[in-house]
Structure 1
């Protein structure tokens, strides 16, 4: 049986639009923080680059990518 505190690899079925078009920045921050796989992260980066190109959001996505890479290195 798995530990319920472990986060699943694919954190949710939210689309990049649902993650990045939230009505306030705290929800966007939370959406980015819950990305647990590089595939979802890449999709969000591509979506942001295609649509709004908000530098602060792209920086947050880059930071999350670095965190995920670090976690992968430690596994």
Structure 2
């Protein structure tokens, strides 16, 4: 993001933008801010195709469970 760029709303982030941070705290934070199941599905598909990191898939699954419980 450039100095003058407007912040992107979380719903507008692509799975690649959400899942590319290497810092696990930032990565986890980007997952727990997902508030819809379609975005979670897109992130699972992206992760399965590109990185297939088990902890990330587990965090996404936990977030899906959290959304279902609301």
State the shift of 1:22 in Å: 1.1
Q: Distance in 2 between matches of 1:23 and 1:46?
A: 18
Q: Distance in 2 between matches of 1:12 and 1:39?
A: 10
State the shift of 1:11 in Å: 4.0
TM-score (norm 1): 0.77
TM-score (norm 2): 0.83
Residue aligning to 1:39: 38
Q: Distance in 1 between matches of 2:11 and 2:41?
A: 15
Structure 2 unpaired stretches of 5+: 1-8
Pairing of 1:25-64 with structure 2 (within 5 A): 25-64=24-63
State the shift of 1:14 in Å: 0.5
Name the structure with the higher helix share.
2
Structure 1 unpaired stretches of 5+: 1-9
Q: Distance in 1 between matches of 2:19 and 2:30?
A: 7
| Count of residue correspondences | 62
What CA deviation, in whole Å up to 9, does each residue of 1:3-62 have, x standing for no partner?
A: xxxxxxx84210000000013111111100100000000000000001100000000000
Q: Distance in 2 between matches of 1:40 and 1:12?
A: 8
Provide the alpha-carbon RMSD of the alignment: 1.3
